[in-house]
């Protein structure tokens, strides 16, 4: 019997995937649970990732004509009440503020006092409060379109929480736009879905399937909801971003009206779209391995870490000086039109400890430098997309000329690896018997493409029986078939999967 290979993360993905995920986060020092139940503390390495996600998306939003603004955290209960379907969708998750202050009682115990005339809801999403403001700002067709994004935190009470994937409070961006015509609003909805797909592919190195949600999975109050769906390494789906065409539903409830060019009063058409810190969780589960985090280079807080290896004290000065010079030279190189982000690890620790620490943190390129490397004007290079022991000696000159290409190769390698995994675990099913048999397996069964023409009620029945949901109706799938549940011909393919 062969000896089981030791890994930096225990348990492994194969042994216990949910626990492996938690241990990767812990080993990479990304985040931890807070004293407040269901909330997380995002630590500097994890927040650095989120900052890079923000930076790229913010640029993409502005390139498509959007501006940033900020709206209140507190929303009067009456605002949510205006949109009945919307409030039904979020009612069970809302945190409610009922008092304005604390006051010590006779025993010195703080008690809430100053009951509010109207309870305030801690922002679960901002359609209603933003709609109230838009109703004031929009008077004429000349005031349109309004293209605004907000970076904010959101609170939704969750019973079962998991770091980055589902927490009571999380960080996100929410775009809210207003248009004069239905066509413009639909165009905006699909444009932002494309932005999310591009970001997932080009920055997260994460392949996604883009499609429209069924009525049962639609955002509360929306006419149409579109999403990008990614496959995790346990073959479950994760919804990584959504874009909603809201029609005139929220415009009517918020009274967003304008005078058209013909002098006629009309209700506006609105959209909303968003992604959150859930993207960090997706990135972890798509790319990481049994040795820890694997970071896509374009978003990594550091592209390169230099690790001095100093066997004897008298060699410290020469090795350190070489490493500092190398750091300055690397910072002078560019990747994605910006200076390289380079860390020099001068902590007083054993070299092996440092190396494994950075492996677990997922830095794309590790450079070990010892006395012999200094003599040879070279480095010992390790790539995070390869095995930890798979390293090679590279001359300093070659390193400086090729580091950008190396990082780019890592990006494409991990993207292709994830895409291959998705394709290998996606199956087309045409019969009811095969569908139920496939999802009856103990292992998570990946993505299934199946013709679908069922009702929302039938969809809920299938979900209750199999714990599987329709993730979306893929937009890039042109094939049709006979729905095995209703017998309807020329039905579009739906993407079925178990999900987070």
Question: What pLDDT score does 84 carry?
Answer: 65
Q: Output the DSSP codes for 193-252.
A: HHHHHHHHHHTS----EEEEPPGGGSPTT-SEEEEEEEE-TTS-EEEEEEEEE-TTHHHH
DSSP code for 165 = T
Digit-coded pLDDT (tens) for 38-61: 999 999 999 999 999 999 999 999
Decide: 242 and 219 in contact? Cβ < 8 Å: yes
Q: Which of 432, 444, 445 is nearest to 483 (CA)?
A: 432
- Model's pTM, two decimal places? 0.96
Per the listing, tokens 């006051």 go with 103
Q: Give residue 421's pLDDT.
A: 98
Q: Quick one: average pLDDT of 427-438?
A: 96
Mean per-residue pLDDT over the chain, rounded: 96
pLDDT tens figures, 150-162:
999 999 998 789 9
In which band, very low, low, confident or very high, does the pLDDT at 3 lie, cut at 50, 70 and 90? Answer: low
Buried/exposed code over 162-185 (b: 16+ C-beta within 10 A; e: otherwise): ebbbbbbbbbbbbbbbbbbeeebb
User: 384-421 in b/e burial notation, b at 16+ Cβ within 10 A?
Assistant: bbeebeebeebebeebeeebbebbeebbeebbebbeeb
Q: Residues 159, 208: contact at Cβ < 8 Å?
A: no
pLDDT tens digits for 316-360?
A: 999 999 999 999 999 999 999 999 999 999 999 998 999 999 999
The dihedrals phi and psi of 115, each to the nearest 5 degrees, come to -60, 135
pLDDT value at 2 more than 60: no
Assign 88 a pLDDT band (cuts: 50, 70, 90).
confident
CA distances 51 to 43, 225, 302, 307, Å, are 12, 27, 12, 25
Mean pLDDT of 13-27: 97
| Nearest by Cα to 233 from 406, 9, 451 | 9
170, two tokens = 């999380």
1, pLDDT greater than 50? no
Q: Provide mean pLDDT across the span 305-312.
A: 96
d(CA 344, CA 490): 60
247 vs 224: CA distance, rounded Å: 8
Longest alpha-carbon distance in the chain: 85
With cut-offs at 50, 70 and 90, classify the pLDDT of residue 100. very high
Span of 70-79, 87-96, 150-159, 413-422 with lowest mean pLDDT: 87-96
**Quick check: 6 pLDDT over 90?**
no
How far is 165 from 276, CA to CA, in rounded Å? Answer: 9
Confidence of residue 97 (pLDDT cuts 50, 70, 90): very high
């Amino acid at each position: 019997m062969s000896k089981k290979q030791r890994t930096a993360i225990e348990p492994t993905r194969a042994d216990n995937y949910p626990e492996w995920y938690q241990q990767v986060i812990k080993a990479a020092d990304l985040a931890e649970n807070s004293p407040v139940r269901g909330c997380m503390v995002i630590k500097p390495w994890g927040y650095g990732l989120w900052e890079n996600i923000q930076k790229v998306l913010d640029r993409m939003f502005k390139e498509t004509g959007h501006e940033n603004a900020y709206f209140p955290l507190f929303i009067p209960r009456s605002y949510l009440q205006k949109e009945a379907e919307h409030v039904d969708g979020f009612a069970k998750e809302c945190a409610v503020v009922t008092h304005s202050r604390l006051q010590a009682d006779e025993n010195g115990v703080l008690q809430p006092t100053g009951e509010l005339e109207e309870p305030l809801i801690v922002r679960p999403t901002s359609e209603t409060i933003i709609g109230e403001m838009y109703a004031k700002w929009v008077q004429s067709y000349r005031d349109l379109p309004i293209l605004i994004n907000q970076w904010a935190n959101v609170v939704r009470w969750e019973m079962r929480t998991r770091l980055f994937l589902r927490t009571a409070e999380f960080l996100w961006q929410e775009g809210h736009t207003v248009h004069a015509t239905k066509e413009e609003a639909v165009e905006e909805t699909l444009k932002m879905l494309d932005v999310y797909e591009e970001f997932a592919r080009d920055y997260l190195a994460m392949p996604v399937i883009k499609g429209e949600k069924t009525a049962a999975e639609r955002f509360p109050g929306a006419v149409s909801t579109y999403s990008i769906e990614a496959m995790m390494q346990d073959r479950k789906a994760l919804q990584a971003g959504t874009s909603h065409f809201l029609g005139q539903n929220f415009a009517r409830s918020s009274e967003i009206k304008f005078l058209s060019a013909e002098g006629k009063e009309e209700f506006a058409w609105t959209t909303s779209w968003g992604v959150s810190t859930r993207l960090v969780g997706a990135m972890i589960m798509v790319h990481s391995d049994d040795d820890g985090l694997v970071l896509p280079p374009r978003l990594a807080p550091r592209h390169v870490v230099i690790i001095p290896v100093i066997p004897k004290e008298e060699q410290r000065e020469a090795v350190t000086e070489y490493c500092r010079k190398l750091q300055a030279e690397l910072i002078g190189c560019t990747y994605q039109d910006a200076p390289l982000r380079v860390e020099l690890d001068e902590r007083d620790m054993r070299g092996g400890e440092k190396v494994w620490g950075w492996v677990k943190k997922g830095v794309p390129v590790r450079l070990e430098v010892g006395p012999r490397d200094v003599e040879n004007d070279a480095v010992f290079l390790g790539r995070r997309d390869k095995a930890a022991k798979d390293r090679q000696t590279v001359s300093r000159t070659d390193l400086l000329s090729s580091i950008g290409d190396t990082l780019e190769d890592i990006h494409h390698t991990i993207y292709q690896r994830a895409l291959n995994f998705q394709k290998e675990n996606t199956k087309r099913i045409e019969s009811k018997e095969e569908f139920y048999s496939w999802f009856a397996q103990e292992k998570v069964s990946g993505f299934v493409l199946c013709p679908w023409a069922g009702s929302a009620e039938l969809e809920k029945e299938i979900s209750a029986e199999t714990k599987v949901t329709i993730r979306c109706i893929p937009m890039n799938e042109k094939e049709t078939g006979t729905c095995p549940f209703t017998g309807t011909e020329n039905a579009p393919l739906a993407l079925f999967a178990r999900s987070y």
